[in-house]
Amino acid sequence: MNFHRPSMKEILLDEERLLELLSDAGPGGEIENRYLYHILKQLHTMGASFRDEWKIVMFNGDHEGELSENYAAYLDLILRNKKVTFEAESGEYNLES
């Protein structure tokens, strides 16, 4: 069977495995975790809406990459595999040595 090879800005998900994880994370499931369940549910919805373009916006407190210069710098450091933490209250990041 030929599978679509994802580009660098795609996530390729096996629906059957995703549905198993949803069942495990959902009410009465083996790991029952509401946060994980809702993230997985959103990924399933995004995958079903394959005609739409999606953008994932991650935030920490009142900070997100497009609105906070420090948070944007922090996210850039993550992409460069740096050990870094972000303090939402101060809006500052700490690069570990």
| 88, 61 Cβ separation under 8 angstroms | yes
Q: What is the DSSP string of 23-36?
A: HHHSTTSSS--HHH
Instruction: For the chain, give every domain's residue range.
Output: 15-48, 59-95
Give the global pTM: 0.73
pLDDT in tens, 29-83: 999 999 999 999 999 999 999 888 888 889 999 999 999 999 999 999 999 999 9
- Please state, in angstroms and rounded to a whole number, the distance separating the CA atoms of residues 68 and 57: 12
Task: Please report the pLDDT score of residue 32 as a whole number.
Answer: 97
